[in-house]
A = this chain, B = another copy of it.
Amino acid sequence: MSAMAPPDKKLKGLVAATFTPFTAEGEINLSQIGPYIDYLAEKQGVKNIFVNGTTGESMSLSVEERMMLAQKWCEKAEEKMDQVIVHVGCMSLKDSQKLATHAKLIKADGIAVIAPSFFKPTTADAVKKFLYEVAKVVPEVPFYYYHIPAVTGVNVPARDVLEGIEALIPSYSGVKFSSTDLMDFGQCVSYSQSADWSVLYGVDEQVLAALALGANGAVGSTYNYMGCHINKLISEFEAGKLDQARKIQFKVQDLFTYAKKCGFDLGVNKQLMNELSGLDLGPPRLPVMSCPEVHALSEKFHSLFPAC
């Protein structure tokens, strides 16, 4: 959240989906948030954050914990980040509304809502009805739809959710599109061309493909520790140097291929962040299993990428 950023500023470039810091005992650890933001801004060149999302284990947090975390992120981000987007999606609509109201209070630059995933909506109308009920309690806060069907099991094309969303939710500002379906993605870009909306891509290992199709930026967990390299990928892409951009993308894919062979889940990802950043974000919470050590993986990282 930047004092300089007008509320209607278009969200673009890299956005780090932040991990939630825990103590060794599993309690939220607010003291790490300040250093975390400094690390992103200074070491990775990342100026936007998406907090309490999937990477942030929001579904494993209580409503109260989510509020405390969001507040601290917004507070510490002031003058250091361009935008702080607070994810307020829950299984329960009431809880989401409570979090949205709180996000406004703490002056978040935007809120995002994932489709509810226990009872899975099967139509775009049902998804939009849920999004609308959250958005309407804070009509002045920029609203983002968070599309991640492989996790939610909600297999409604994002493009269908976007149809007419600007009339239903005037605060609609963009979509975080975390799916490999690039036909749906392209249709979202195409629908968004004349407007001031962001289409942000969320599958880090193929972000170059999304840029080619017109992504305005990208949100992801790996930008926490390889943001500087992906910033380079983006600048090579924008300069028309596809060969250079591809080289970086292939390294990311090499890392993922290596990591997946060991089981690359959120617990591993968080521990990799701990090792690469030097921050102490602690273990994840159950049901994500903690992962004591990922030395081989961080070595692989260093063998692929130079220091930032």
A197-B133 Cα distance, complex, nearest whole Å: 44
| Copy total for this chain | 4
A287 engages B119 (CB within 8 Å):
yes
Task: Verify A91–B93 contact, CB threshold 8 A.
Answer: no
- Cβ–Cβ contact B92 & A59, under 8 A: yes
* Residues A60 and B92 in contact, CB atoms below 8 Å apart: yes
Is A303 at the interface (CB under 8 A from chain B)? no
Closest CB of chain B to A59's CB: distance in Å? Answer: 4
**In the bound complex, do residue A117 and residue B119 qualify as a contact, i.e. CB atoms below 8 Å apart?**
no
Chain A, range 120-149, C-beta contacts under 8 Å to B: 120-122, 126-127, 129-130, 133
A91 and B60 contacting across the interface, CB-CB below 8 Å: yes
Expressed in whole angstroms, the minimum distance between the Cβ of A206 and any Cβ of chain B is 4
- Option from B115, B212, B254 in Cβ contact (under 8 Å) with A190: B254
Q: Which of A44-98 contact B (CB under 8 A)?
A: 57, 59-63, 91-95
* A203-224 interface bits toward B, Cβ cutoff 8 Å, 1 = contact, 0 = none: 0011011111110000000000
- A118 and B54 CA atoms in complex are apart in Å by 9
How far does the Cβ of A160 sit from chain B's closest Cβ, in whole Å? 10
Complex CA distance for A254 and B183, rounded to whole angstroms:
9
Please tell me if A257 contacts chain B, counting CB pairs below 8 Å: yes
A-side interface residues, number (CB < 8 Å): 60
Partner of A288, one of B119, B210, B257: B119
- Does A116 reach chain B (CB closer than 8 Å)? yes
Q: Can you list, as one digit per residue, whether each of A165-186 has a CB less than 8 Å from chain B (1) or not (0)?
A: 0000000000000001111001
Q: Which 4 A-B pairs have the closest CB atoms?
A: A212-B212, A209-B209, A59-B118, A59-B91
Q: A59-B116, A118-B151 are in contact. List 20 more A-B contacts (CB 8 A).
A: A57-B119, A59-B91, A60-B93, A62-B92, A91-B91, A93-B285, A93-B286, A120-B287, A122-B265, A127-B287, A182-B209, A183-B256, A186-B206, A186-B246, A186-B253, A187-B250, A187-B253, A187-B257, A209-B210, A214-B242
